[in-house]
């Protein structure tokens, strides 16, 4: 379940810059989302997001419709690609499952075959999150060598870029220069003119997506991507799906379980999302989650000699006040970066740079240094680099399609959080209460899908997957991106879920250095033994 891409803070369930994980050598992309909605008192604004949905995702018929038989019966032609040991192929799926004869979508697939020793257990499908993150890039750069050796020995490691993503007929919206302009749009408008400019930016982004991918844009939903996964499962020769999904990848995996409960094998959903929430609720949760992450960063920062937000004795609130004041200064007077394309660092790019470092505490030293250079020396280059890495903008000024695919999936999966600037203005006090530092910008960022050229096909719903084999849902207690409460909610919805809890910080848990977590997940993947009920690790 998702929300939207926007020109400042990262969208929920998008992958920030890839970087190695700590601990057992496992490396992975990190994904976004967030939680911790503050309790409301009688004096708070009356505008509140709608409650969670009660509708339940219905399973599809067990028998394969005859119109889909050619897709399920296709043979993949594998070829060597990327680093030694990797193979690639192209899978065909119907563009529209309601009208399979209306044309195909071609989906890129990659694998690294089981290396042995030990008997092969089948295929292990991976998705690192997003929506919009490249599963193939993740496999080739990280998982193909970074997953535990025994897992790689027994499974073919498999990845498929979902429709509209990276190598699978990618959605495109803006050229690189237009995207530069979009990412610098002011999302804390101070007057009618700035509000109109923001709305104009959202409209231009949406119109660009509609112009470049008019047919595909109607068929990039998570439900369709999950159905594509079932075709791949069958083509690979697996009776059941074995899968590890992180962040948005948990929504994709849970959706698969809801549609095909009888075909669920061993599913690990790490950094879980709650599919029952509205976009407005998710965006508010995201805002509070970023505030939670910033509070942790600030507590650590003020103990460090290079912290530009204050020294020992400075409270996290005071540190937040310093950062908010800096953002306001940038809003009025951007600072130089030395960027060859002439971009200065304004509030929008600076906010993205800060938030990009919130997903893993290993990025905190870099963020301290970046803020120090910007706040003390007036040099915005380091914060700009953080922002660029989040947006997947390379040194040549080219953007990958992460943000385009993110918006395309998000705006199709859920009705927009808000439809008009007036609705955002009414919600501002709630967002600012959730995060004094990020709330205003993230409230306005919630308006993006209001101008999308395609009507949403999804809605909030519960996923129960009655009859599925045991599914492991992993939650981290202080996850700044996918809150622990979401993991508890999804585990409560899924009929066969086992909740595995990591008492710690950071986004997701597998491969972050907890031997307890890694051992439990490895045992499940290799022997089919789920964690004991109520298992907690640190």
Residues with active-site annotation: 247, 479, 507
Six token digits for residue 228: 């594509």
Six token digits for residue 94: 């119907």
Six token digits for residue 156: 């073919």
Q: Are 359 and 32 in contact (CB under 8 A)?
A: yes
| DSSP code at position 483 | -
| DSSP code at position 141 | I
Q: Are 1 and 413 in contact (CB under 8 A)?
A: yes
Please tell me the distance from the alpha carbon of residue 202 to that of residue 181, in angstroms, as a whole number: 12
| DSSP code at position 143 | I
Please tell me the distance from the alpha carbon of residue 124 to that of residue 241, in angstroms, as a whole number: 8
Q: Which of 129, 99, 134 is nearest to 224 (CA)?
A: 99
* Cβ within 8 Å of residue 479, ≥6 positions away: 35, 271, 289, 505, 506, 507, 508
Q: Which of 448, 459, 457 is nearest to 419 (CA)?
A: 448
Torsion of CA 53, 249, 26, 299, to 10 degrees: -40
Say how many CA atoms lie within 13 Å of 420 toward its Cβ.
3
Please tell me the distance from the alpha carbon of residue 520 to that of residue 210, in angstroms, as a whole number: 45
Residue with tokens 């130089």: 336
């Amino acid at each position: 379940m998702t929300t939207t891409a926007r020109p400042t803070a990262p969208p929920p369930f998008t992958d920030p810059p890839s970087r190695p994980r700590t601990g057992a050598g496992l490396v992975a992309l990190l994904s976004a989302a967030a939680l911790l909605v503050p309790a409301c008192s009688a004096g708070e604004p009356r505008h509140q997001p709608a409650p969670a949905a009660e509708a339940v995702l219905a399973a599809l018929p067990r028998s394969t419709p005859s119109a889909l038989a050619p897709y399920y019966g296709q043979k993949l032609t594998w070829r060597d690609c990327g680093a030694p040991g990797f193979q690639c192929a192209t899978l065909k799926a119907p563009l529209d499952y309601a009208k399979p004869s209306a044309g195909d979508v071609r989906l890129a697939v990659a694998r690294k075959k089981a290396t042995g020793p030990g008997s092969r257990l089948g295929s292990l499908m991976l998705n690192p999150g997003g929506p919009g993150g490249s599963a193939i890039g993740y496999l080739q750069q990280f998982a193909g060598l970074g997953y535990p050796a025994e897992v790689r020995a027994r499974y073919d490691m498999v990845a498929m870029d979902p429709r509209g993503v990276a190598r699978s007929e990618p959605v495109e919206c803006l050229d690189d220069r237009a995207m530069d302009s979009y990412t610098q749009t002011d999302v804390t408008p101070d007057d009618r003119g700035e509000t109109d400019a923001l709305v104009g930016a959202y409209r231009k982004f949406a119109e660009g997506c509609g112009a470049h991918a008019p047919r595909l844009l109607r068929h990039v939903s998570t439900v369709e991507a999950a159905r594509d996964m079932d075709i791949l499962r069958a083509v690979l020769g697996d009776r059941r799906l074995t899968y590890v999904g992180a962040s948005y990848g948990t929504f994709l995996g849970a959706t698969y379980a809801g549609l095909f409960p009888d075909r669920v094998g061993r599913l690990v959903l790490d950094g879980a999302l709650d599919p029952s929430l509205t976009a407005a609720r998710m965006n508010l949760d995201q805002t509070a989650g970023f505030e939670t992450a910033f509070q942790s960063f600030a507590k650590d920062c003020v103990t460090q000699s290079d912290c530009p937000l204050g020294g020992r004795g400075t409270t996290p609130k005071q540190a937040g006040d310093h950062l908010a004041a800096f953002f306001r200064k940038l809003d009025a007077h951007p600072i130089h970066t030395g960027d060859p394309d002439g971009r200065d660092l304004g509030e929008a790019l600076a906010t993205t740079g800060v938030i990009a470092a919130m997903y893993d505490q290993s990025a905190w030293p870099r963020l301290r240094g970046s803020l120090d250079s910007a706040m003390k020396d007036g040099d915005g280059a380091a914060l700009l680099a953080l922002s660029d890495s989040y947006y997947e903008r390379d040194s040549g000024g080219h953007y990958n399609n992460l943000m385009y695919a993110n918006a395309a999936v998000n705006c199709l999966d859920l009705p927009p959080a808000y439809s008009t600037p007036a609705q955002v203005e009414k919600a501002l006090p709630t967002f600012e209460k959730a995060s004094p530092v990020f709330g205003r910008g993230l409230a306005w960022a919630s308006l993006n899908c209001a101008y999308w050229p395609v009507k949403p096909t999804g809605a909030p719903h519960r996923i129960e997957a009655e009859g599925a084999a045991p599914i492991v849902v992993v939650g981290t207690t202080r996850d700044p991106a996918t809150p622990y409460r979401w993991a508890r909610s999804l585990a409560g919805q899924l009929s066969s879920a086992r909740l595995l809890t990591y008492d710690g910080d950071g986004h997701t848990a597998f491969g972050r250095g907890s031997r307890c977590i890694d051992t439990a997940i490895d045992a499940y993947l290799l022997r089919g033994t789920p964690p004991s009920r109520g298992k907690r690790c640190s």
